[in-house]
Structure 1
């Protein structure tokens, strides 16, 4: 897992984009790909722990796809 920051999150539409040093250009996240608690309430600027994969093709314009997102505690 790496630390990432939520760039944008569209809860009603079911997707978002996360940024980390290991996912240049952004990491696409879709609800159907996410395993982990708290992902539905993410907000821009929030830090999360991210596990990603590079599917070998662009998914919705991004080279990386999230497979696990866990919100970091704020304490």
Structure 2
């Protein structure tokens, strides 16, 4: 599978976040909804996933400075 460049993924995540904020503030503009659908689709294709939650996790995992270890597996205490 081809992997998107981290800079492309970073841009897509930022665009998704900005569009999500716009939609949460009540902007129901059809153009914004279409842009969101386009970004969601592109993130899913770019990360080889089928839903936005998995796409965001996969994209953020590939970004510079991403943590690759799961904190839930760390010993407590």
Fold shared by both chains (TM-score > 0.5): no
Q: Which has the higher strand share?
A: 1
Give the TM-score category using the shorter length.
under 0.3
TM-score normalised according to structure 1 size: 0.23
Q: Which has the higher helix share?
A: 2
Q: Greater CA radius of gyration, 1 or 2?
A: 2
TM-score normalised according to structure 2 size: 0.23
